[in-house]
């Protein structure tokens, strides 16, 4: 039964949800190098100590946008991944600045509806060149940090130059309600 649930969840991720387009530039043993073309994302930021605490609040605001809290009053399909840009220690009390985004589906890329919540905005994200490391499970704050660090170590060991070690992205592929075998990634940006 448990295996069936896990299997169905894996299917829902791969088959049912539109994902942000990208091309794979290189496949290494522990990471993948990708280019995401310039696209629009819907975005909000939060200062916090904790990734997971900030994520709950930001997910709520972005979910309301796709649920109709926009100037067209329309529902927008959920997409994957949900990215969070982590900018450590940027707040006045050294909180981290977390910036969460949902990819705007292709059908709305040209003219996305405008968010009514003034904390939420449409981000024109330029082309993004990243190195991505994947891991599974229910990620706690320490898991994001552990994997970002492991990815940085692997990139440095491979002699990859011109990487941004100040900021990184986390990417989640499951709704907050999925419990088993969640798919997560950390992305380190090429400068
Ligand atoms: C947090 O980061 C976002 C995205 O880079 C930026 O727009 C926002 O101004 C930052 N907030 C603070 C308080 O630094
Ligand atoms: C978790 O999901 C990945 C695919 O996303 C799969 O390769 C892996 O076998 C799954 N693990 C378990 C324990 O089901």
The closest residue, in CA terms, to atom 1 on ligand 2 is: 181
User: Cα(125) to centroid of ligand 2, in Å?
Assistant: 30
User: Cα(91) to centroid of ligand 1, in Å?
Assistant: 9
User: Cα(174) to centroid of ligand 2, in Å?
Assistant: 13
- Residue 91: what pLDDT? 79
pLDDT at 132 over 50: yes
Report the alpha-carbon distance of residue 131 to residue 155 in Å, rounded: 8
- Residue 11: what pLDDT? 45
> Where do the domains of the chain lie, and which CATH numbers do they carry?
2-189 (3.20.80.10)
Instruction: Grade residue 182 by pLDDT with cuts at 50, 70 and 90.
Output: very high
Instruction: Grade residue 179 by pLDDT with cuts at 50, 70 and 90.
Output: confident
The closest residue, in CA terms, to atom 12 on ligand 2 is: 181
pLDDT at 7 over 60: no
User: Cα(10) to centroid of ligand 2, in Å?
Assistant: 7
Instruction: Grade residue 2 by pLDDT with cuts at 50, 70 and 90.
Output: very low
Report the alpha-carbon distance of residue 47 to residue 88 in Å, rounded: 10
Q: What is the mean pLDDT of residues 110-122?
A: 98
- Ligand 1 binding pocket mutation candidate from 43, 83, 87 (most atoms within 8 A of CB): 87
pLDDT at 16 over 90: no
Average pLDDT of the residues of the chain: 92
Q: What is the pLDDT of residues 51-99, one digit of tens each?
A: 999 999 999 999 999 999 999 999 999 999 999 999 999 878 889 999 9
Q: Which residues contact 148 (CB under 8 A, 6 or more apart)?
A: 86, 133, 168, 170, 186, 188
């Amino acid at each position: 039964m448990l295996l069936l649930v896990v299997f169905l969840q894996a299917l829902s991720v791969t088959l049912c949800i539109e994902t942000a387009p990208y091309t794979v530039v290189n496949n290494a043993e522990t990471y993948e190098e990708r280019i995401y073309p310039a696209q629009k994302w819907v975005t909000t930021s939060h200062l916090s100590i904790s990734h997971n605490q900030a994520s709950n609040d930001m997910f709520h605001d972005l979910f309301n946008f796709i649920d109709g809290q926009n100037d067209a009053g329309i529902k927008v399909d959920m997409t994957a991944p949900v990215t969070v840009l982590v900018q450590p220690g940027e707040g006045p009390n050294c909180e981290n600045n977390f910036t969460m985004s949902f990819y705007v589906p292709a059908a709305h890329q040209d003219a996305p509806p405008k968010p009514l919540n003034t904390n939420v905005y449409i981000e024109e994200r330029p082309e993004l060149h990243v190195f991505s490391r994947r891991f599974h499970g229910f990620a706690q704050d320490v898991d994001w940090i552990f994997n970002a660090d492991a990815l940085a170590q692997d990139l440095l060991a491979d002699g990859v130059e011109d990487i941004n070690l100040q900021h990184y992205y986390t990417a989640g592929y499951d709704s907050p309600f999925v419990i088993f075998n969640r798919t997560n990634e950390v992305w380190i940006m090429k400068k």
